[in-house]
Structure 1
């Protein structure tokens, strides 16, 4: 089990998630579900968000049992979460979520660049999936050199970033 805090550029930190972070994680998830929060019945919306959060948590636990769960901090404030899975010879970004106030500030890019540096050290690609309806995230990933690996279900696209040392002849090196 990992302990301690990892420092990233720009005052960002990663630390292992704790059970005391559950309320923050539930609120973070709710902030990403604008679609459900727009329902006219606030009680129904809150119930659906809670059900979806629990379903996502169970799904991640089942699909990525060895994943590491981190809280992203900025100075002393919690601003997001990162779930990483290093199985199958890759650095798989299972989930990267930031609170609304932290989006568009370069924090997600800083975290992803740190994952790219980690991938270079362990000689593995960085894999992730992006919601096709999230142009901001898609643009960020493209700027960081991620390339499409095709559809992943009905709503997501699988993306990969290859460290330059692992690029096959004819494959473009990533930024």
Structure 2
């Protein structure tokens, strides 16, 4: 599945992540871990915990989703986010999607998810993701895009978007 060839709006593009993207991915992860920024401790200790979480997340994704594909999202050739996707035989799974703080709440995530819905429709499989149940803005977006809640295993909720038969022939 050539995700890099999917139609994106907002001047966005997606390309496979490379080793050169590692510093950006580490900074991006750091910016998403506001929960860990609240740890009572020296900044050096907090940074080491966030770095440890990044490594654990990376290896965890690799072992849980060995066929996953990792992409960088760019706007006008500037890196603004990432999306990790597993194209399995029965589903397309969004493993992770994140944007730098300056790119959040601007519709970029919606554009990427709509492109993934296109990919899911092309292969006639559901698009699946997991969201933190407390992340109300993300849940609202997913519901607006047609995702339905399948199950809740606190603190996470499994949501699925099903391509309709009508969408399969468009």
Q: TM-score, normalised by structure 2?
A: 0.91
Residue 12 of structure 1 is matched in structure 2 by 12
Q: Write the mapping of 1:1-175 to structure 2, written as runs, cut at 5 A.
A: 8-40=8-40, 41-152=42-153, 154-165=154-165
Going from structure 1 to structure 2, the CA distance change for 1:4 and 1:165 (only over 3 Å counts) comes to: closer
Q: Would the alpha carbon gap of residues 46 and 166 (structure 1) be closer, same or farther in structure 2, given more than 3 Å must change?
A: farther
Distance in 1 between residues matched to 2:133 and 2:30, nearest whole Å: 19
Let me know the Cα RMSD of the aligned residues: 2.0
In structure 2, distance between residues paired with 1:123 and 1:6:
16
Stretches of structure 2 lacking an aligned partner (at least 5 in a row): none
The alignment covers a number of residue pairs equal to 166
CA distance in 2, matches of 1:111, 1:58: 24
Unaligned runs of 5+ in 1: 168-175
Conservation of the 8 A alpha-carbon contact between 2:129 and 2:158:
yes
Q: Give TM-score, length-normalised by structure 1.
A: 0.89
Shift of 1:38: 2.4
Matched-pair contact (CA < 8 Å) for 2:6–2:115:
no
Q: Greater RCO between the two (CA within 8 Å, min separation 6)?
A: 2
Moved over 4 A (4+): 2-7
Once residues 118 and 71 of structure 1 are traced to their aligned partners in structure 2, the CA distance between those partners, rounded to angstroms, is: 17
